[in-house]
Structure 1
Amino acid sequence: MAMTDMTSCPVHQSFDPLAEPYLADPYPDLTAVREEVPAFYAPSIDMWVITRYDDIESAFKDPGTFSAAVGQRPVFPLSDEARAIIAGGFHASPVMSDCDPPKHTRIRRHNLKGFSARRVSVLEPKVWAKATELVDDIRPGRVDLVPALTYPLPAYMIFTFIGFPDEDMDMLKSWCGNRIAFSWGRPSPEEQREIATNMVHYWRYCEEFVAKRAADPVDDFTSDLIRIHREDPEAISLEEITNVAYGLSFAGHETTTNFTGNAIRQLLSHREQWDALCADRTLVPAAVEETLRYDSSIIAWRRITTRPVTVGGVEIPADAKILLLLGAANRDPKYFSAPEDYDIMRGDVRAHLAFGKGIHYCIGAALARMEARIALDLLAQRAPGMRLVEDQELTFPANVSFRGPRHLLVDWP
C-alpha cells in the first residue's frame, strides 16, 4: 500500500493477516496498526485485534476476562467432511493452551513437574548429540537448513522428551504436516480432509502410547504424569495425559523449528552480528532473546472475552474473538529502544512477550531456548563462513499465529 493510500485509508481498516504481503513480511503492518489504534475489529478474520504491549500484557494477566478457550479452535468453519472425520476418531479436549482455571491450574501444576530443571538438563547432552549428528551429515554446497537441521532437531527432542520410540518418528512427523493451517489458517476442503485424517491417526497413536506407559512406566515425561495419576487418579486422568502428549508433541517442535530458522536468517542477514557471535559464542543467549523479540515464531495469539471490556478506550463486547499482536508488542518503542533494529547487543530485550505472560506462560520456554542456543552455538563453531543464498524466495505458512521460513537456503562452506 502506498503512503498516500495509507493517509486516506488507515492500515487497520484493511488488516488481513492471511493476505500475501502480510505473510511475506507482517512487520510494516504490525507497526502501522500499533501506531494507529490500540484495538479494532478486523472483518477479514472476524476478530478484535489488540496492538500494544501494555494492553496485551494486561490481557495475558486477566484470564478471567480474556479466556484461552479458543486457543486451538479453527479460525474459520470446517467443511462437513472434515467435521465428520474429526467426530469419528479425534477426542481431544482443552488441557493447557486452550484451557482456563481451575482445570488449567491443576493440569499445569503436574506438567511443571515433568518439565523440571532436572529433566530438561538431562536432555541437554542429547540435544548436543542430535544436533552434532545432523550437522555432520551436511556437505559443502547449497543446503536447505530446515530439513537438514531446524525441523528434525526439535521434532526429535520433543518426541524423545515425551517418550515416543525413535522408530515411530518419521511416521509421527508425517502426520504433523500442515496442522498449523487447520487451526490457524484457511485450508481448502481437500486440505482439511487430509489434515483431519492425520489428526485422527495421531490421536489414536497417542491413546495407545499412553495406555502402554500406564501399563509399564519408564523414565520419560509421559511416565512422570502416569505416576502422578497412579498416586491420585483425580489429579490427572489418562485422557488428560493423552491430550497433553498430543498437544505438546505438536507445539514443542513446530514453534522451535520456526524460531531457530528465524534466528539463523536474521543473524546471517546482519552479517556483522553473525561474525561477532562466531568470534564470541557467549553472545548466543543474547541472540536467542533478540530473535524472540524481533522475529518470534509466534507473532499473534488468540483469546475470547467473557464480558465487555475496554481496551485503550475501545469498547470490545463479550464473546469477542481476540487476536493479540505479539509481533507488534515486541517492537513497541515504549519498551524497546530502536525497536525496528535487530541488535543482539541490546540491553532491554528480556521484556519481550514471545512466550506470553501470566498463567499461560510457555511451559516449554527453557527447552526451546536450549535447543536454539545449541543449534546456533554449533553452527558458529562448524560453519562460521556460511552465507544466505542471495535472492531466494522465502515462503511462510499461511496462518494468523505462527511464522518461520518453510525453506532456508545457505551456502555451506
Structure 2
Amino acid sequence: MVALEARDYFTDRGILQDPYAFFEAVRAHGPVYQPPGRDYLIVTGFDETLEVLANAQDFSAVNALQGAAAPLPFDPQGSDISAQLEAHRPDFPGGTMLVGLDDMPHTMLRGLVNRLFTPSRLKANERFISDYSDHLVRQAVARGRTELIRDIATPFVTLVIADLLGVPAEDRQRFMDVIDAAPPPGSLDAADNDYAGEGHPLIVMGSYFAAYVEDRRRHPREDILTELALAKYADGTTPSVAEIVNLATFLFGAGQDTSAKLLGNAMRHIVDQPGLQDQLRADPALIPALIEEVLRIEGSSKQTARVARRDTRIGDRLVPAGTCILLALAAANRDPARWDAPAELQLDRPRIREHVAFGRGKHVCAGAPLARVEVRIILEKFLEHSSAIELDPTRHGPPGARDLHFEPSFIIRGLADLHLILTPSTTALADRGEAGAFPVAGQTPQAQVEPQDEMLSTTHTKIGVLLADPQTRSLLDRYFPGVADDQRIAMARGMTLRAIQPFAPSQFTDAALDALDADLAALAA
C-alpha cells in the first residue's frame, strides 16, 4: 500500500475527501517536505507558510492557479530565473491575472482594488445584502428545507458581487449558469484547467466585461465598474481595457466562489457541532468569531502555489531557483506548533484572526472584508428565522457518519451540496408570507400590487408598486428619466427608493425624492 504522504495530492480523490489527514502525514516529515518522486515542495508549517507569503522578492505567484505540480513552461537556467519567468508569464494559466502577478504590475493593479472594497462602501451595501439574504432565508424556512449551495449560497453571493460591481441585471443569470456548468478552479481533471478555453467562465464573462468597460468609459455610472473603467494608476497612467477586464472578471469570479464555499463550510459546522447553533442564536455577536474559526479550520482555499525566482531558502532548507512550492494553507491553519487543539473549533480561541485562510502579504485576498460581511449577515438571518437547522439524514447520513461531497478541486475546499431541514422560529411563523417577491439574479419579475395602508411615499412604498401604476410610473420617469425601463432596477423592485438611495446618491438625490413625495401625496389628495 502506498503511504498516504506519497499519494498524489493533485489527482487523488481520497485526499479530496479528507485533505487534512494527508497534510498531517506530510507534516510528520517536517514543515517543508518533498514527496517521493515529486519535483515540488509541500509547506505545512505555519511560520514557514508566512515566510514564503511575505517574501515576494524570492517567490513568484505566477503559478498560483496552475498549481505546484504542473511543469514550468521552460527549462530553468541559473540561480535567478526572474527574467525567464517574465518572458514566459503568458504561458502560465492565470499568470497575467491579479492572483498571478508580481512586482510593480501587481502593485499598480492591486492599488486600484484597494480603493474599491472600502469599509464605507461595504457599509453602504449592507442594506442590500441584509434585505436579499432575509428574503432568501425566509423563503427557505417557509419551505422547511433547502439545498444551501445551489438554492441560496450561489445566487446570494453572485447577486451581491454583481450589485457591488454594477453588472447589469439581465446578465447575472447567464453568469450563474456559466459558473455552475464549469469545473471548479483547480479541477482534479487536468484537462478542465484550460483558462484560455472558449467555454471557461473567465473567458465568457470577460467578453461581457469588455463591453461593460467600454460602455462605462462613454457613459459613467455610480458603480465600481465605472471607477475601474476611469481609474488611473498611481503614476498617472491609464490601465488598458484588457487589464481592467482581467481585473473585473477575476474579482467577480473569485468573489463569487470564495464566499459561497465559506457559507457552506460554516453551516456544516453549525449544524454538526452539538449546541453551537443554540449558542449563536443566544448571542449573535459570536458569529464573527465563528467565521474566523471556520476560515482557520476549513477555509475555502486549501492551498496556493509559488515558484522560487532565485536560489533561496524556507526555514533552514535550501530551495533552488525554479522549485515549485505547494503552500498548504489548510495545514498551516492546523499547525500544532501554532494552534492549541488545532482540529477543534473554539469560539474563544486567542488571536483568532491570525489564520492564513485569505493568505498574507501582497497577495492577501482583496475580497476578504466582503466575504466576512456577506457570510455574517446571512448566518444571522438563518439563526433568526429558524429554531433548528439540521442536515437531511436521507441525503447526508446520520451525525457521526456523514456522507458529504466536495468540489473536485485541489484549490477549493467547498461542498458540492448541503441539504438542510429548517424548523421556523416563532417569529418566522408569525411573519410567514410577508417576505415578498425579491428578484433573483437575472430576473425581472412582474411588479406585485399590494394593499396600501398608508400614503404612497419614497420611504414606505416599494419600487415595484410605483412602477405598476401608470400615474406613479410617469412620475418616476419625470424625476429619474429612464429609471422605469432600466433593467438594473429589477434587483430593487422589492425595496423603496430611499432604501436604494445609498447605492446611487447622485441619481436619487434628497431634493428629487422630496419633490416626488410631494407629487405622490397630491395624487392621494
**TM-score, normalised via structure 1 length:** 0.88
Q: Of the candidates 103, 119, 125, which is equivalent to residue 101 of structure 1?
A: 103
Q: What is the CA–CA distance in structure 1 between the aligned matches of 2:233 and 2:109, rounded to whole Å? A: 15
Contact 1:145–1:409 (Cα < 8 Å) also in 2: yes
1:120 to 115, 119, 122: 122
Which string of whole-angstrom CA distances, capped at 9 and with x for unpartnered residues, describes residues 93-152 of structure 1?
624211111111111112111222221111111111111121122133342111221111
Distance 1:178 1:57 in 2: 35
Superposed displacement of residue 32, structure 1: 2.5
- Contact 1:40/1:48 (CA < 8 Å) preserved in 2? yes
Question: Is the 8 Å Cα contact of residues 141 and 411 (structure 1) preserved in structure 2?
Answer: yes
Describe the shift of the 1:16–1:178 C-alpha distance in structure 2 as closer, same or farther (beyond 3 A): farther
1:338 to 341, 345, 357: 341
Please give the alpha-carbon distance, in whole angstroms, between the structure 2 residues aligned to 1:360 and 1:193.
Answer: 20
State the Cα deviation string for residues 70-104 of structure 1 (Å, max 9, x = none): 12337658xxxxxxxxxxxxx97624211111111
Shift of 1:191: 8.8
Distance in structure 1 (CA, Å) of the matches to 2:37 and 2:117: 38
Which segment is superposed worse, 264-273 or 338-347? Answer: 338-347
2:307 is paired with a residue whose SS is strand
Corresponding residue number in structure 2 for 1:258: 261
Match of 1:158 in 2: 161
Q: Deviation at 1:315?
A: 3.2
Kindly state the Cα deviation for residue 399 of structure 1 after the two structures are TM-superposed: 1.7
Alignment of 1:226-305 (within 5 A): 226-229=229-232, 234-305=237-308
- Please tell me whether the aligned partners of residues 51 and 314 of structure 2 are also in contact (alpha carbons under 8 angstroms): no
Residue by residue over 1:173-225, the C-alpha shift from the partner in whole angstroms, topping out at 9 and shown as x without a partner, is 122236554x5124375896996424432221111111111111111111112
What is the one-letter code of the residue matched to 2:40? Answer: M
Deviation sequence 1:54-80 (CA, Å, 0-9, x none): 110010100111111112337658xxx
Larger Rg: 2
**Alpha-carbon distance change, 71 to 219 in structure 1, aligned in 2, over 3 angstroms:** same
| 1:41-80 superposed matches below 5 A | 41-42=34-35, 47-73=40-66
Q: Which runs of 5+ in 2 are unaligned?
A: 72-92, 424-525
The residue that corresponds to 1:147 in the other structure is 150
- Whether 2:399 is the aligned partner of 1:395: answer no
Instruction: Please say which of residues 166-175 and 35-44 is displaced more in the overlay.
Output: 35-44
Q: Secondary structure at the match of 1:386?
A: strand
Question: Which one of the candidate residues 201, 226, 248 is aligned to 2:204?
Answer: 201
Amino acid at match of 1:145: L
Q: Which amino acid aligns with 2:349?
A: R
Closer, same or farther: CA 30–220 of 1 in aligned 2, 3 Å: same
CA contact (8 A) 1:46 1:321 kept: yes
Pair 1:21-2:41 in alignment:
no
What is the distance in 2 between the residues matched to 1:342 and 1:234? 47
User: Counterpart of 1:334 in structure 2: which amino acid?
Assistant: A
- Aligned to 2:42, the other structure's residue is in SS state strand
Residue from 20, 28, 31 that aligns with 1:35:
28
- Give aligned pairs, total: 392
Structure-2-length-normalised TM-score? 0.70
Give the whole-Å Cα distance in 2 for the aligned partners of 1:30 and 1:93: 27
Instruction: Mark the CA change 1:92 to 1:36 in structure 2 (over 3 Å): closer, same or farther.
Output: closer
Name the Cα RMSD after superposition. 2.6
Q: Would you say the 8 A contact 1:59–1:66 is kept in 2? A: yes
Which residue among 100, 109, 112 is the counterpart of 1:110? 112
1:136 corresponds to: 138
Q: Which letter maps to 2:299?
A: S
Give the Cα–Cα distance (whole angstroms) in 2 for the partners of residues 11 and 155 of structure 1: 37
**Counterpart residue type for residue 344 of structure 1:** L
The question of whether the paired residues in 1 share the 8 Å contact of 2:10 and 2:188 is answered with: no
| 1: CA distance, partners of 2:221 / 2:29 | 54
Higher relative contact order (CA 8 A, sep 6+): 1
CA contact (8 A) 2:34 2:42 kept: yes
Q: Secondary structure at the match of 1:127?
A: helix
Change over 3 Å in CA distance of 1:189–1:97 after alignment to 2:
closer
Instruction: Work out which of the residue numbers 404, 422, 430 in structure 2 matches 1:412.
Output: 422
Runs of at least 5 residues in structure 1 that lack an aligned partner in the other structure: 78-90
Structure 1's 113 and 316: CA in aligned 2 closer, same or farther, altered over 3 A?
same
In structure 2, the CA distance between the partners of 1:93 and 1:326, relative to structure 1 (3 Å rule), is: closer
- Single out whichever of 138-147 and 63-72 deviates more from structure 2: 138-147
Match of 1:162, as an amino acid? Answer: L
Q: Distance in 2 between matches of 1:195 and 1:396?
A: 24
The one-letter amino acid of 1:208's match is A
Q: In 2, distance between residues paired with 1:245 and 1:162? A: 8
Matches within 5 A, 1:340-359: 340-359=343-362
Q: Which moved more, 1:402-411 or 1:19-28?
A: 19-28
Q: After TM superposition, give the deviation of residue 264 of structure 1 in Å.
A: 0.5
Alpha-carbon distance in 1 for matches of 2:163, 2:23: 36
Aligned with 1:349: secondary structure?
coil
Match of 2:98, SS? coil
On the 8 A contact 1:96/1:104 being kept in 2, the answer is yes
Deviation at 1:232, TM superposition (A): 7.7
Is the Cα–Cα contact under 8 Å of residues 188 and 410 in structure 2 kept in the other structure? no
Where 1:137 maps in the other structure, the secondary structure is helix
**In structure 2, what is the Cα distance between the partners aligned to 1:43 and 1:70?**
21
**Offset of residue 15 of structure 1:** 4.6
Q: Name the structure 1 match of 2:497.
A: none
